Amino acid sequence: MFKILAHPYSLRLKNIRSSRLLNHKREGALLRFSFPDGSSGYSDLHPWEEFGDLSLDQEIELLKSGRPTALGFRALQLAAKDAEFRRQGVNALEGLTVPKSHFLLSGDEHKDHKLLETIANSGFDTLKIKAGSALDFLDELVGALKHHPFKIRIDFNERLDAGSLPDALNRLKPLEEKIDFLEDPTRFDREMWIKAMERSRIPFAKDMRLEEAFSDKSIPILVMKPAKQNEEMFLQEMHPEQKVVVTSYLGHPLGQVQAAYVAGVMQKSIPLETAGLKSHHQYETDAFSERLGPLSPHFQAPAGTGWGFDDLLPKLSWS
Ligand SMILES: [Mg+2]
């Protein structure tokens, strides 16, 4: 078996409005797994209880007792990968081509023209925006983004009800040409989604309970999260015509490196869409996120072996 030590961390959200929505901090833990051969590897564990994950303590407890959830099991799998790279003394991202990323806007950032200009000048061509059930917010987005060149992804986390979807699509009409996709606009209803896509000519992407759309080419885009899904299984289950967006789990920077690694590995088999791997801009900068480099859609691998951060990791408190 293996032994686990944990380093609980909290990430401080930068934006006031999103802080109010999602609390000020996001909690997770870095895990250090010690394997029987004497090697050790690290993983990020960043549960989202509001989206069905267990609490951090429960996730760790189940891992320790050998009954991990999908999230815990992936943490173990990826830590084993890290241990392998550290044993060999190589960086996990060496030789891999990682897709570029979108920029994730939070709160009222879409209203900040200066910020949008900075994002564009840094090379980003795609924005991802989280929306809720308020349709007025969509009018606001139209006003703010109509004259910007970005492609736009809007993630509703299934918060629209089926009855308001046509209205939402109508309001987004002026952005039609710019919209890359709408993610989980409503609770999944295959027939309803297909009809709405045909009528609006706007593609939908599936992220939550993604398995429901595996091998279904009528659902054109899948959002793959390496924190939860195994890349080999995913490649077997998806339809070759489905497009894939690999995103981080909005956790620790080490988790972003893990997601970037998986994206790089998948890209050896299939071309990937613009990804979502640069989520650290959501949070206040720390010693880890600093290593991910300046504002850019390109993923910068932190120096070191495995996931990197070789000098920072041993200095943390582990228990
Ligand atoms: Mg999503």
Provide the angle, in degrees to the nearest 10, between the axes of the packed helices 56-64 and 70-88: 70
185 close to 161: Cβ distance less than 8 angstroms: no
CA of 198 to the centre of ligand 1 (A): 22
Structure tokens at 258: 């893990």
* Straight-line distance from the first to the last Cα atom of the chain, in angstroms, rounded to the nearest whole number: 18
CA of 261 to the centre of ligand 1 (A): 20
List strands edge to edge, sheet with 221-224.
103-105, 126-130, 151-155, 179-183, 204-206, 221-224, 243-246
Q: How many CB atoms lie within 10 A of CB 58?
A: 14
β-bridge pairing 126-130 and 103-105: parallel
pLDDT for 23 equals 60
CA of 227 to the centre of ligand 1 (A): 13
CA of 318 to the centre of ligand 1 (A): 31
- Where do runs of H (alpha helix) occur along the chain? 16-22, 56-64, 70-88, 113-121, 136-145, 165-171, 190-200, 231-237, 253-266, 287-290
CA of 207 to the centre of ligand 1 (A): 5
Q: What is the DSSP letter of 238?
A: S
pLDDT for 16 equals 52
CA of 308 to the centre of ligand 1 (A): 27
The CATH classification number of 103-291 equals 3.20.20.120
DSSP-based three-state secondary structure for 202: coil
15 close to 35: Cβ distance less than 8 angstroms: no
DSSP-based three-state secondary structure for 265: helix
CA of 42 to the centre of ligand 1 (A): 25
CA of 247 to the centre of ligand 1 (A): 9
Nearest-angstrom CA–CA distance, 47 and 72:
9
CA of 157 to the centre of ligand 1 (A): 6
pLDDT for 82 equals 98
Q: Which residues in the chain show pLDDT less than 70? A: 16-23
Length of the chain: 319
CA of 58 to the centre of ligand 1 (A): 23
Confirm whether pTM is higher than 0.85. Answer: yes
CA of 7 to the centre of ligand 1 (A): 26
The CATH classification number of 3-93+310-315 equals 3.30.390.10
User: Which of 75, 65, 7, 70 is CA-nearest to residue 41?
Assistant: 75
CA of 183 to the centre of ligand 1 (A): 6
Find how far residue 132's CA is from the centre of its chain: 18
Per-residue pLDDT reduced to its tens digit, 5-38: 999 999 998 875 554 555 688 999 999 999 999 9
Nearest-angstrom CA–CA distance, 209 and 191:
17
CA of 229 to the centre of ligand 1 (A): 14
97 close to 246: Cβ distance less than 8 angstroms: no
CA of 305 to the centre of ligand 1 (A): 30
Residue with tokens 């394997």: 35
Contacts of 280 (CB under 8 A, 6+ apart): 253, 256, 289, 292
pLDDT for 13 equals 87
- Give kind and range of the element (H or E) at residue 217: none
Residue with tokens 């925006």: 129
Find how far residue 89's CA is from the centre of its chain: 27
Domain boundaries along the sequence of the chain: 3-93+310-315, 103-291
Q: What amino acid occupies position 274?
A: T
CA of 185 to the centre of ligand 1 (A): 10
Q: How many CB atoms lie within 10 A of CB 153?
A: 24
Nearest-angstrom CA–CA distance, 261 and 96:
8
pLDDT for 111 equals 92
CA of 276 to the centre of ligand 1 (A): 10
Nearest-angstrom CA–CA distance, 243 and 203:
11
CA of 127 to the centre of ligand 1 (A): 14
Per-residue pLDDT reduced to its tens digit, 232-263: 999 999 999 999 999 999 999 999 999 999 99
CA of 312 to the centre of ligand 1 (A): 30
CA of 208 to the centre of ligand 1 (A): 6
CA of 123 to the centre of ligand 1 (A): 23
pLDDT for 19 equals 46
CA of 205 to the centre of ligand 1 (A): 9
